[in-house]
Amino acid sequence: MLSRPGRLKPGVFAVSSWTRNGQASGSIRHVARIDGLVLSDTWRACGDPPEEVCAFVPITWTPCNPGGHRRWIACPRCGRRVAKLYGAGRRFLCRHSHRLPHASQSEDAIACRFRRANRIRELLEESPFHGEGYRKVWARLRFS
């Protein structure tokens, strides 16, 4: 969302929202500054009245090989350069600071096999080489 043109110009106010199963499930407001973003959201604990949560998040830049640069968000707690922050509770932090695991880290062996089989199936379906597509798929799977 922040990669859209003009979203990070100082003074620009924007609202980012997301949906789940076609229903609006959340939104966050952000104002760009020269050195970062000011994020604001309404947070509500169980049974408590809603409260406004605001946080400043610095933005860092790294150079790219072909030229230009890439923007990163710096986690307010650990300072790690990340592409996403998660709003769990009153703070906007990276996945590591919130101790949020990847979905694959909590799946059992059967779910892991199903996920891998589906990945192979998708790779074979998108392969333009019918006779020799399995070689390319195998090479991609072996090193991933």
Low-confidence ranges of the chain (pLDDT < 70): 1-7, 126-144
Residue 125 corresponds to which tokens in the numbers above? 């379906």
Q: How far apart are CA 36 and CA 25, in angstroms?
A: 25
* pTM > 0.85: yes or no: no
Residue 81 corresponds to which tokens in the numbers above? 């350069």
What pLDDT is stored for residue 5 in this prediction?
Answer: 66
Write phi, then psi, for 102 (nearest 5 degrees): -70, 155
- At 93 the three-state DSSP class reads strand
What pLDDT is stored for residue 88 in this prediction?
Answer: 74
What pLDDT is stored for residue 130 in this prediction?
Answer: 52
What pLDDT is stored for residue 14 in this prediction?
Answer: 83
